[in-house]
Amino acid sequence: MKSRFLLFLILFFNIHYLCAQKTILWKVEKEGTGKVSYLLGTMHQVGNSFIDERPKIKELLLRSKIAVFESVEDKKKTIIDVMNQRPDDFSYRNNLDKKDVQFLESVSSDWTVPVSKLSPAELAVKLEQLYVLDVCETAKPTDTWKHLDDYLLSLAKNGGMKTEGLETNSDQFNAINAQRDFNWQNAKEAVSARIENLRGKKNKNRLCRISQTYLGDMNFDYQFGVQCAGNDAMVINRNKTWLPKISAILDNDNAFIAVGLMHLFGDCGLISELRKQGYTVTPDPLPKA
């Protein structure tokens, strides 16, 4: 009888732990501070209906004293202006197949920054974002916002909240272009593959797996015990830069922090790093209304 009860307890706590990971929302506390904050892992190219269907997010956001995002600057007044001031560079026409060029120029006709002013790294990121929106269908036709972080920022500002950014738009811009060897000579295949996937809506099951999980049961394996690899350098460096600011905010205010989901994974992720600093970080269920 005793062994059966012990087995029941083991199964209960294991099931509870596994179910508890089915979330992108985490509660953050530290003994002695009396502060309770929340950390939300975002997927940037997601429509506002995702938030609207989960009122708990908006409730916790507006109940907090400060809302923290990767950046709170108006992108249109900074990075976009800088990019549009660049001279045109049509190198992509010499490095991509004719059919890829035609498709790229067609699909980019309404972009705020034309292809001729994008670096290969920026173009690769832009194509990935477009794939997520168009092929993975992470925004509904009725959505008025197609960037989850921007929508949350608008809610915070409309609610009269204090907001703070962990970095500037320039920091983000520099992080994307930090891959100095990502020039057209070695970027051609990567960009061509992204164009082919987008044009033919190929590899949807594989490439949309993360977004489908995000929009669905949120059952992510955060791999807290897994060491971050060298190819995660951009995430590692940004997390290290953000942590002192995040810690200071958590110790002084009840905060709502929204950052890209990938910044939460692994032993270098914000959850692991905050736990190392003595914070209690626990998963918080996020049901639909």
Is residue 4 one of the residues assigned to a domain?
no
Q: Which residues of the chain have pLDDT under 50?
A: 1-20
Q: What is the pLDDT of residue 174?
A: 78
Q: What is the pLDDT of residue 3?
A: 45
Q: Position of tokens 């200071």?
A: 248
The 3 state secondary structure assigned to 21-85 is CECCEEEEECCCCCCEEEEEEECCCCCCHHHHCCHHHHHHHHHCCEEEECCCCCHHHCHHHHHHC
Q: What is the pLDDT of residue 179?
A: 58
Of 138, 165, 157, 159, which Cα lies nearest the Cα of 48?
A: 138
Is residue 273 one of the residues assigned to a domain?
yes
> Over the Cα atoms of the chain, what is R_g?
21
Residues spanned by the domain of 226: 23-284
Q: What is the pLDDT of residues 177-194, one digit of tens each?
A: 775 567 888 889 999 999
Q: What is the pLDDT of residue 76?
A: 62
Of 279, 242, 274, 285, which Cα lies nearest the Cα of 260?
A: 242
Is residue 159 one of the residues assigned to a domain?
yes
Structurally, how many domains does the chain consist of?
1
Burial of 7 (0-12, 13-18, 19+ CB in 10 A): exposed
Q: What is the pLDDT of residues 215-265, one digit of tens each?
A: 999 999 999 999 998 667 889 999 999 999 999 999 999 999 999 999 999
Is residue 48 one of the residues assigned to a domain?
yes
Is residue 196 one of the residues assigned to a domain?
yes
Lookup: tokens for 242: 């953000």
Is residue 10 one of the residues assigned to a domain?
no
Is residue 17 one of the residues assigned to a domain?
no
pTM given for the model: 0.88
Is residue 248 one of the residues assigned to a domain?
yes
